[in-house]
Amino acid sequence: MMGVKFGAAILGVICVVAGAGWNALLTRSPLDPAHIDLPLPSERVGVLAFNDKLRSAYKVGYGQVLGPEDLAVDSEGRLYTACADGWVKRVSFVNNDTHSSLQVEKWAYVGGRPLGVALGLHGELLVCDPDQGLLNVTQGNVQVLSNEADGLRF
């Protein structure tokens, strides 16, 4: 019985000390924020005007492209994206640029987790991978351009 009373007393002291510390923290702050009267928002005109231009947008490759990271568009309007599964996928609009006529293909497997894509000067795709480095990718061929900078490996 004596142990229970002693434990309750210790718990009470801890609660009082914690409460006093919390109170000191909240009431003795050196911060003294100033009140600012902000003007009402201006009218939404120009580029800030409301519009519905994206209302007809659709998801390209939904369900066929796993975790797309970046996007590049070639001169023929085909989209390239680096995916979480290590594939670079190419999306082509087959007939009349509608979402019902698109084709998603596994274009090149680079492995890893490619994080960025860009088109090179000669139509090749440059892919940045955090483990492999900078890759030059053409259909069926992956070549490492660089895997280090200043002697430090990527």
% of the chain at pLDDT higher than 70:
91
H or E stretch including 75? none
Examine residue 59 and state whether it is found in any structural domain, yes or no. Answer: no
- For position 105, which CATH number holds? 2.40.10
Residue 91's region, left for phi above 0, alpha for psi from -120 to 50, else beta, is beta
Please state, for a pLDDT cut of 90, what percent of the chain lies above it. Answer: 38
- Structural domain count of the chain: 1
- Structural domain includes residue 89: yes
- Do residues 111 and 118 make contact, with C-beta atoms less than 8 angstroms apart? no
pLDDT of 24 > 60? The answer is yes
Q: What are phi and psi of 102, to 5 degrees?
A: -95, 155
- Residue 80 in any domain: the answer is yes
Domain-located, residue 129: yes
91-100 tens-digit pLDDT? 998 775 555 6
> pLDDT by residue (tens digit) across 110-125?
988 999 999 998 889 9
- With CA atoms as reference, report the closest residue to 64 among 104, 97, 91: 104
Structural domain contains residue 107? yes
Would the pTM count as exceeding 0.75? no
Q: Provide the domain limits for residue 121.
A: 71-153
